[in-house]
Chains A and B, each alone.
Chain A
Amino acid sequence: MSTSDLHSPDAIQERNRRLAKRVGLIVLGMALFAWALVPIYRWVCVEFGVGIVQQKPNNKNLPAAAGDREVEVRFVGLVDVLAPAKIEPLKPRLVVKVGEQHEVMYRFTNLSDENLDFQAVHSVAPSLADPLFHKVECFCFTTQTLKPREVKDLPVAFWVDPKFPQQYHAVTLQYTLYNLNPDPTLLKKRQEENAAKAGV
């Protein structure tokens, strides 16, 4: 091919279109990558325990014998602003041995005159302890319903993995109660009530 052919406008356009198509594929690839990041993120968080909710029962088997190491477990409960409810752990803390199963109860109160469907969302601190905090039974595995003004106690059964890192001495389990049918128009009212209670 002579130099002039290589540099003819058509040849140039042809090369340009080919390169543009390849670059375009990269654009498409990155767009798909963005959406793929959602499940990737979830997988990374679960695998490496970097902190997202894993609301499934744990299949790991309880070790034959409990270890010697003691860990303090703290229990926290709070409600989302749009949930007319109360959640409180019946015990704020428990000192457990690793590999030993325990159960704590959380008390749920529906403060409204309607049924309340809710989801308890858990969070563990430190976040890398999440995969090492094995929940055998938890009200957070499914959505729950409270009848009007109902007060109910629900359990969490758990054990702490012996692999729980040595640099940490305590693990915190927090539940946030979310209303599954929130009414956003009530936000202002709820916030005013909360503020009034706080004396703001």
Chain B
Amino acid sequence: MVERWQEALKRFEGKALLGVLAWGLMASAAGANPMDAAVTPIASEVNSVYNLILWITGGLFVGVWAVMGYALWKFRYRKDRKVNDFHGNLTLEVVWTVIPVILLIIISVPAFRVLQFTEYAPKDISETVEVIGHQFFWEYRYPDSSITIANQPLRLPVGQNIRLLVTSDDVIHNFSVPAFGFKQDAIPGRVNERWVRVDKAGTYDGYCAALCGALHANMLFKVEAMEPEAYAAWKAENQKAAAAPTGPVTQEQLMAAGEKLYASNCASCHQVNGQGLPGVFPPLANSDWFDKTDKNAHIDVMLNGLRGEITVNGQKYNGVMPGFGHLSDLDLAAIATYERNAWGNNHGVITPEEVKALRK
């Protein structure tokens, strides 16, 4: 049994070593050089330095393995071998101390030049974007255009220098876009600045690259680099959307919000179809209550509730409705407007200001 394992071992050993080498070569060929998606000048520079280091370290690796492999073969155990106990050689030791230093200098020169390039932003920056990391999504603010977006692709103009101001409102995140050649820690209480110029339009993958909690892997994002005209158009569109909330609220907006809020706050009693429950909960659909009362009465019921006997559509009701004053003016206005206009009703709009006016 032991002999079988020994035999098998002999067959396995050599194959294993060759297999590892061959596999390593193939895998390197397959996996290497994917840093070719360099779409910024920074990324191209970084790639060049990376390639330089790859050649040098690759050469060192092959060199050491070659000498070691040769030695292991040439000086393998022979009963009658005379050993050459060569264990010191000043020249050799000096050479293999000096050559690594020289190689490191060769790498350092371009490396530190690239560092300068990445550190000092050019003077003509055309856009500044604040990048804010949250658990677990990214928010972007364009302060010069009053645009704030979140959980959407970061839009950037192609061919222009952009300043990114990276920070966080909770824990340390990291804003990483491999195609751009950088990543930057987003540290709460601190702002870190990076500049970038994207030379090719397209959509690029981004990752959060600092462990930030359970859903760290779910903070993937995209960066969309757009031609300047498309970028300007996108900004214009988003500026309108940003402006809207400060203007008056429209009936459409109130209805849309009201429908959702009604479903979660009111439908349990008054039903989704507004029919209520005969004798128990009064109907709102086609209800004569709206004809008999005015807007203020409606608002009063929403804020403070209602008790005591009422008659709706000829049916008596004597229940207790709780008040919903804990909801905001906007929410109550939305629900009230929805109730007055859904299911074929047509009783006009109630605004947040009207709700506010009746709060005590």
Contacts and interface: CB of A to CB of B under 8 A. Distances in A.
B191 A125 contact: yes
B360 to A, nearest CB: 15
Nearest to B122: A169
Interface stretch (A3-11, A21-29, A96-104, A189-197): A189-197
A27 B130 CA distance: 45
A168 B193 CA distance: 12
B130 A80 contact: no
Contacts of A81: 134-135, 169-170
Interface of B: 119-123, 125, 128, 130, 132, 134-137, 139, 143-144, 150-152, 163, 165, 167, 169-170, 188-193
Contacts, number: 85
A44 B137 CA distance: 34
Interface in A116-133: 121, 123-126
Contact of A199 (B123, B130, B150, B192): B150
A165 to B, nearest CB: 9
Contacts of B170: 80-81, 191
B137 A195 contact: yes
B190 A51 contact: yes
Contact of A123 (B122, B134, B151, B189): B189
B172 to A, nearest CB: 13
19 contacts: A74-B143, A76-B167, A76-B191, A78-B167, A78-B169, A80-B170, A81-B135, A81-B170, A92-B143, A123-B167, A168-B121, A169-B123, A169-B125, A172-B165, A172-B191, A172-B193, A174-B191, A176-B167, A176-B188
Contact of B193 (A75, A78, A126): A126
A200 interface: yes
A4 to B, nearest CB: 36
Given A74-B163, A167-B119, A178-B189, 10 more contacts: A78-B132, A78-B167, A81-B134, A81-B135, A81-B170, A92-B143, A93-B144, A195-B134, A199-B151, A200-B151
B163 to A, nearest CB: 7
**Interchain residue pairs A-B with the least CB separation, the first 7:** A198-B150, A92-B143, A174-B191, A125-B193, A167-B120, A198-B151, A123-B190
A197 B132 CA distance: 14
A170 interface: yes
A125 B150 contact: no
A77 B343 CA distance: 46
A179 B193 CA distance: 25
A170 B191 CA distance: 13
A79 interface: yes
